[in-house]
Amino acid sequence: MTGAAIRVSEIFGPTIQGEGVLIGQPTVFVRTGGCDYRCSWCDTLHAVDSQYREEWLPMSVDAVWSEVERLSGGVPLTVSLSGGNPAIQPLGPLIDRGHSEGYRFALETQGSVARDWFANLDVLVLSPKPPSSGMETDFARLDDCLSTAAGGPMTVLKIVVFDDRDYAYARDIARRYPELPVYLQPGNHTPPPPEDDSATVDIGGIMNRMLWLVDKVTGDRWFDARVLPQLHVLLWGNRRGV
């Protein structure tokens, strides 16, 4: 066994990355369990809420990697490390193992926990949470994440936007980190509970927010921003494992 155990909520794929800088790219997901945030609109509560902790399996690096190889058929692709907040898990040895086999690694985190192994990622998505989440951004910690990743991965910002306050927050973040590409994502108001197999989602509401967000960005001449939906939500709703 290599390294400390990783608490895993689910491993699935290959499918496509549904959002952000790698949207549409074939991916295997390693979703870890546990988070230091509790956003009001979280759509992955099964990887966040402590009531699901018994479902989070402690897995060795070897066990995780065996499943990634099985799902990918041994053909290298991008492995997306998600959560919850995957930064609270000991993922450095897994990244090293995958790189030795030709795989690439992308990680998304809110930027609340910095890890030295961020520098070994291929893509780091920092997704600080806007006011609608009910969470506060600790900019010192976000800066630490950038410092630990410096000179390593391609690093981008991805910000969920529900309303004008969130949009203003996104503008402020972009001004604070002008060197980082910014991806804006219209919010998803209606995640069903994890046990709801219907995975009902308000597609109309999401698309209305998408149109509103496009109008805001173009009207403000914010031409450096990229506006993208959650493609996987449009295709599959909020189902787990897609």
Residue 204 pLDDT class (50, 70, 90 cuts): confident
Alpha-carbon span 184 to 158, nearest angstrom: 6
**CA-CA distance, 37 to 82, in Å (whole number)?**
14
- The closest alpha carbon to 64, from 119, 114, 112, 101, belongs to 101
Confidence band of 1 (pLDDT split at 50, 70, 90): very low
Can you give the pLDDT at residue 197?
45
Measured distance CA(37)–CA(40) in Å, rounded: 10
How many other CB atoms are found less than 10 A from the CB of residue 60? 16
pLDDT band of residue 198 (cuts 50, 70, 90) is very low
pLDDT (0 to 100) of residue 49: 82
Handedness of CA 228, 196, 11, 39 (dihedral sign): positive
- Whether residue 32 contacts residue 47, with contact meaning beta carbons closer than 8 Å, is answered with yes
Q: Which of 73, 64, 55 is nearest to 29 (CA)?
A: 64
Can you list the positions of beta strands (E) in 83-193?
104-109, 123-126, 154-161, 182-186
Residue 240: predicted pLDDT: 67
**Distance, CA of 209 to CA of 26 (rounded, Å):** 27
How far apart (Å, rounded) are the C-alpha atoms in residues 145 and 109?
10
Confidence category of residue 90, pLDDT binned at 50, 70, 90 = very high
User: Could you give the angle at the alpha carbon of 109 between the alpha carbons of 107 and 111, nearest 5°?
Assistant: 130
**pLDDT bracket for residue 139 (50, 70, 90):** very high
- 92-100 vs 61-72: helix axis angle to the nearest 10? 40
- Quick: pLDDT tens for 140-192: 999 999 999 999 999 999 999 999 999 999 999 999 999 999 999 998 765 54
Domain 6-236 - what CATH class? alpha beta
- Residue pLDDT, tens place only, 102-132: 999 999 999 999 999 999 999 999 999 999 9
Residue 198 in tokens: 């219907």
Query: Is residue 58 helix, strand or coil?
Result: strand
- Arithmetic mean of pLDDT, 230-235: 72
Q: Where are the domains of the chain?
A: 6-236
Confidence class for position 195, pLDDT limits 50, 70, 90: low
Question: What's the mean per-residue pLDDT of the chain?
Answer: 91
